């Protein structure tokens, strides 16, 4: 009887430990990449997906650099009150939408129509995937 109880406790303990290991966030194991590395990865992916030529690659590389400079300017903020934060967040959201539209227009001038269609569909897929992940994270945060 003692062996049965010990075996049961051991089994339950191992099962709980295995479940805890699976629940750890995946981001903890991810390595941090630099901005330049991220831009290079994006450029390689776009080149592979859209068959970009050298001139298009250089133009998009410059576009990514400009976009990152603008992003850095926006991130340099100070602590604000809750109302100011709400207003700032709304303004930031509107600015991001405008920037996304400007970026799309610039890329449209660089790419040919077939390449732009592929790029646009890839962007839509990525946006949907990110929204799904964000919803899952928010649900997980509520549960914890």
* Nearest C-alpha neighbor of 72 from the set 126, 41, 35, 101: 35
Q: Which domain holds residue 141?
A: 110-144
Domain assignment present for residue 124? The answer is: yes
Task: Please determine, for residue 77, whether its predicted confidence score (pLDDT) is greater than 60.
Answer: no
> Which has more pLDDT, 109 or 13?
109
**How much is the average pLDDT of 112-139?**
91
116 Cβ contact partners less than 8 Å away, ≥ 6 residues apart: 107, 108
User: Does 96 reside within a domain?
Assistant: no
- Judge contact between 121 and 103, C-beta under 8 A: no
* Angle between the N-to-C axes of helices 35-50 and 54-75, in degrees from 0 to 180, rounded to the nearest 10: 140
Q: What is the C-alpha separation between 44 and 23, in angstroms, rounded? A: 32
**pLDDT given at position 122:** 92
Is 23 inside any structural domain? no
115 φ, ψ (degrees, to nearest 5): -65, -40
Residue 10 has pLDDT above 70, yes or no: no
For residue 143, tell me if it sits in a domain.
yes
Report the pLDDT value the prediction gives residue 71, as an integer from 0 to 100: 79
Residue 132 has pLDDT above 90, yes or no: yes
Q: List pLDDT tens digits, range 13-46.
A: 666 665 555 555 565 556 788 888 999 999 999 8
Distances, alpha carbon 90 to alpha carbons 17, 20, 50, 87, 96, in Å = 43, 38, 34, 5, 10
Cα(12)–Cα(115) distance, integer angstroms: 55
In total, how many domains does the chain have?
Answer: 1
Q: Is the pTM of this model over 0.85?
A: no
């Amino acid at each position: 009887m003692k062996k049965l109880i010990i075996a049961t406790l051991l089994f339950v303990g191992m099962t709980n430990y295995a479940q805890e290991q699976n629940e750890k966030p995946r981001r903890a194991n991810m390595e941090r990449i630099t901005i330049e590395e991220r831009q290079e990865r994006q450029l390689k992916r776009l080149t592979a997906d859209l068959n970009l030529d050298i001139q298009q690659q250089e133009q998009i590389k410059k576009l990514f650099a400009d976009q990152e400079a603008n992003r850095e300017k926006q991130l340099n903020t100070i602590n604000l009150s809750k109302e100011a934060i709400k207003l700032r967040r709304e303004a930031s959201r509107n600015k991001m939408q405008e920037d996304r539209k400007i970026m799309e227009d610039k890329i449209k001038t660089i790419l040919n129509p077939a390449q732009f269609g592929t790029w646009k569909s890839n962007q839509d897929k990525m946006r949907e995937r990110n929204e799904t992940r964000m919803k899952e994270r928010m649900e997980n945060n509520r549960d914890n």
